[in-house]
Chains A and B, each alone.
Chain A
């Protein structure tokens, strides 16, 4: 691979599920630098989940190239934890499949649980955890894979507003602490603006990038009192663009 660890390069990706089917992704190109936090927003049917699946290697593109330094990891809307394993053992499974020796796994799993503020949940089973806690275990499990790119497919969409709010702070903190590259797919514009350094808007049928906003991530700026009004303004600007795109399909 030619790209640096953590970088993602997409060149002219086209996706059609069948030869005479509709074009889902049409000439999509994207360049992400190591450690960047990029969000993809778009209405239903814009192919954003398909794009993540192609990046994750779960689906192949009809044409175009994907460049990654190594396989990325992927998080879903559901935590998708293994229900027969405790939180700690779920993380250990990821470590095992990565080839970490048995005796190191428990300590590493505990470290990762500490990172997502679930130090006491090692022995709890998925059904004993709340939705937000499960999603944090899923983050820890994704980090356990030791990949440099984390793909997130609407990971907080199924959570209530209070929990989602905490997870936004949590994800920002983890991203800063680990330096991992994150590509985040959502239909929640505010969420995208709040979390990422760059927001890309996708059109629907076919999916294309139609507009891009750079936000920057300087931490002092994010705690600035003008920041929240900036987020609101930018979010409504992006929402306006998104609405125009949706209206285009009305006729």
Chain B
């Protein structure tokens, strides 16, 4: 239990302070791709400096340490309630140590008790596996980028978007256009085609667990991902919406079944300060391997 508690604090610390390697590579490429003497270039330079500084000082990349989302793969018989207790304790402790901001507010009273614990906070997604190890992935998703997420119900008359991949393309690009720089671009999109209103958004966020460099198993979705990435970067929205060549760092899409009457496209936007890490834990709760 103590090992698990300490491991979870370390996962939270690392997620808050250290950008994953795959995202770091994409940011450096974006920096090189912006023109000299533009505010887009200087924005990317500040971003690069910020990444280095956060890691060095072991402090949050961004002050909005976001919603705390745990994705846990665990073996049959694993005590999920014990894990959740340890995780809530780790979140409280990580908040005291300044790895997380006091970031959870009672929606009715407006009170922030400073613990980051409450109904729905943090959030747990447990999945059983046949493996013996426990795998913990953590996403810290800030509010600015969460607010520019969008869910579309197709057909959409205004955007002339029908129930096909071209219709999906239109609404996803509309989400990018509406977001402009408000989600702290250059961003990464996680998209779910299908599902219902709840699972659509939930599954869209699982796309942030994918490595930015991976390729979609589905050829049609792989093509759509590349197309949207390329097209979005032609729009000239650029870092922070200052104008420039990099509007998105990546696009990840999955498809889920839907009922015949519904056709949702759910788009989640993740800021450049892409907080996601994960680790495999042994039976004692010690970290054996980092995943990203």
- Same complex: no
Hey, which bits of chain A sit against chain B, CB under 8 A?
none
Hey, which bits of chain B sit against chain A, CB under 8 A?
none
